[in-house]
Structure 1
Amino acid sequence: MSLIAIIIDFITLGFYFLQLKILTHSIFIVGIILQAVTVLFLLSLVISYKGQRKSKFWNDGYHPYTFKYGIIVVSFVLNGIMLFLYVLNLTGNDIVFSGF
């Protein structure tokens, strides 16, 4: 499942660079739809993960995630932040694509 999350990250990164090349409103709509589907799929991966979620070793109450589950969670969080930034881009705040 962590490999699936990494592959999804590379697909969304490639589509981000495609949006940098083609700065049209229609490609931004397609991008936000793709990002929303990605976030929902990664949420389903986070919920349906069957492996060990917590590491066996921890320090004073902090119980870290395992490496495989951590990859999925970080991928979900970063894609969620990108979805928020895409929504800001559509509402007029050019944060994501302003430097290019």
Structure 2
Amino acid sequence: MSVTALLLDAAAFGTYWLQTQAAGLYVFGVIAQGVITLALLIMTFTYKGKRFGWFNFQTWAHNFTIRYAVIVLSLIVNAVVLFLYVLNVTGTNSLIFR
């Protein structure tokens, strides 16, 4: 699943690059980013592998395994990018395509 998350990140970057080349594809980018974010959200909750690694007694916290951390970090980054896309399409802030 972590490889699939990385492939979805590559697809998200591809749609971003496509939008920088042709400015009229902003709505397509929002839809594609929404689908990718939804797929990553589903992958985060349906992950069947080991989620937590060793327990750190100094900080009293469990650490994510690297495979699960790749999925979670991919979800967080793509959700932030989706938020920036929505801000761009609504005209509130065009920070992502400056």
Which category of TM-score, normalised to the shorter sequence, fits these structures? Answer: over 0.9
Name the CA distance, whole Å, in 1 between partners of 2:62 and 2:55.
Answer: 7
Name the CA distance, whole Å, in 2 between partners of 1:53 and 1:79.
Answer: 20
Alignment root-mean-square deviation, CA: 0.9
SS at match of 1:60: coil
Partner of 1:83: 82
SS at match of 2:23: coil
Partner of 1:73: 72
Return the TM-score normalized by structure 1.
0.92
SS at match of 2:48: coil
Return the TM-score normalized by structure 2.
0.94
**Displacement, 1:62?**
1.8
Partner of 1:3: 3
Report how many aligned residue pairs link the two structures. 96
Instruction: Give the unaligned 5+ runs of structure 2.
Output: none
Name the CA distance, whole Å, in 2 between partners of 1:2 and 1:32.
Answer: 23
> Quick check: 2:12–2:33 contact (8 Å CA) kept in 1?
yes
Partner of 2:54: 56
Amino-acid identity (%)? 40
Higher helix share: 2
